[in-house]
Amino acid sequence: MVSKRGTFASRFGVVAAVGGSVVGLGNIWRFPYVAGENGGAVFIIIYICISLLVSVPIMLSEFSIGRSTKRNSMRAFNKLAPGTKWKFVGYLGILTAFVILAFYCVIAGWALEFLREALFNNFAGKTAEQITENFNMFVSSGWKPAIWTTVFIIASVAVVYAGVEKGIERYNKIFMPLFVVLLVGLMLYTLSLDGAKEGASFLLKPDFSKLTGRTFLNALGQSFFSMSLGMGAMITYGSYIKKEENMFRVAGMVAATDVFVAVLSGLVIFPAVFSFGISPTSGPELVFITLPNVFAQMGAGYIVSVIFFMLLFLAAITSSVSLIEVVTVYIYEEMRLSRRRAACYVGLGTFIMGMLSIISQLPGSSIKIGGQNLVSFFDHLSSNIMLPIGGLFIVIFTGWVFAPAKFKAELTSNFKYGVKIYPIVYFLIKFVAPVVITLLFLNLIGVI
Ligand code: TRP
């Protein structure tokens, strides 16, 4: 049955849409700097293990919750466990969506400004100081980031406004393949630079002396963020997946793409960083300060910079669409507004949050939490606290509340797919994932 809510029409559409949500700033902007700060290769190994053992099972849980109920995430919990408090996991997800959108749209706005600068060939011939100065002036102007963030929000809302099949599915089917082609091209180019070896070995050769408990939590947070888990995005997209679809296959393809694109971005960025003698641990600015330096000195800097920032924008929009979609469906199903109206309201909420983040980055601004501006604060809060909490609830729900027979029938599409690996997945959901997340939290608060 195809309900009025909309479904993804084709398998490629499902993979493109889910892949579009998953592959985003998390892979290109966040992963390289987080990996750089956490020791490179060791971090990547842990990140891949956590993705397999914890994240993929959570993705399958979210898909099943969504597809079996075909509702927004709050209503989905309420339908599977009526009259209980589980629906608060749905509300937490809505809150998390705004916390993520609050900084996501700002960084995406930066990408647009840098795309403009790349198009005007602004990096060429600049010194490192000039490039840093340029970045700081841009951020502290306030109005420039505000304009680009607004442009980005309008573009994202427009896709959600157009609907599941005509908006989300259609644009992802165009943007995602374009993205992959551009990224592979870039990688081939940067790996041919001098110094590429050092960069590649920074990412591929483990140095275990950098390993602490926090490395694991950072890897978990990065993995959840990167795979869009823990806040109901995959519950919502899962609700658009057809009953006949093999969800193991979708999750497997998407997870592989996600890890692949993250590592690939690392392989684009670090060789370039090393070949121009820049420090790999430069935080959220890595992409925006160090890379323009690289572009300024590089032969083909013009075209490479245009492609790179174009990529960043494409990746960002297909992800922010999924965040906006989660809240939009909630509003239009629960408050009986049209999808279009609901999308506009969410855009407005996002705009307000984004402006707060931008104001908090102005020089001398008093909007700071724990000494951090809101962009860094929201970035940490969402990935390292809110998503793991949401993810923990989701696996506990799936493993211990969702009726096992019903869950199995849903996940295996009525015993058609993945019946053999189902017991392993169920074990990971019921025991491994909750234990791992709990241990990492206990470590965070200093209990272990
Ligand atoms: N996964 C996206 C990225 O890597 C961001 C994102 C989109 C997200 N939807 C999400 C993160 C839902 C957490 C939850 O950039």
Give long-range contacts, CB 8 A cutoff, 24+ apart: 338-341.
339/160, 339/161, 339/163, 340/161
Secondary structure (3-state) at 38: coil
Neighbours of 342 (CB within 10 A): 24
Residues with Cβ within 6 A of ligand 1?
Answer: 21-22, 24-27, 100, 225-226, 228, 231, 233, 319, 322-323, 387
Look at residue 11 and tell me whether its pLDDT is greater than 90: no
Tokens of 6: 């909309």
Pocket probe for ligand 1: among 172, 226, 265, the residue whose CB has the most ligand atoms within 8 Å is: 226
433, 58 contact by CB (below 8 A): yes
Using the mean position of ligand 1's atoms as its centre, give its distance from the Cα of residue 230 in Å.
10
Using the mean position of ligand 1's atoms as its centre, give its distance from the Cα of residue 351 in Å.
18
Give the pLDDT confidence of 372-391 residue by residue, as tens digits.
999 999 999 999 999 999 99
For the chain, counts of helices (H) and of strands (E): 22, 0
Q: Considering only 7-16, 92-101, 308-317, which range has the smallest mean pLDDT? A: 7-16
Phi, psi of 31 (to 5 degrees): -55, -50
User: Could you give the CA distance from residue 44 to residue 262 in angstroms, rounded to a whole number?
Assistant: 10
In which band, very low, low, confident or very high, does the pLDDT at 342 lie, cut at 50, 70 and 90?
very high
Give the pLDDT confidence of 232-280 residue by residue, as tens digits.
999 999 999 999 999 999 999 999 999 999 998 888 888 777 777 777 6
Give the total residue count for the chain: 448
Average pLDDT over residues 21-38: 91
Neighbours of 414 (CB within 10 A): 11
Average pLDDT over residues 135-163: 95
Query: For residue 304, what pLDDT is reported?
Result: 84
Whose alpha carbon is nearest atom 6 of ligand 1?
A: 228
Q: What is the pTM of this model?
A: 0.94
DSSP 285-331: GIIIIIHHHHHHHSTTHHHHHHHHHHHHHHHHHHHHHHHHHHHHHHH
Whose alpha carbon is nearest atom 8 of ligand 1?
A: 228
Q: Considering only 106-115, 166-175, 324-333, which range has the smallest mean pLDDT? A: 166-175
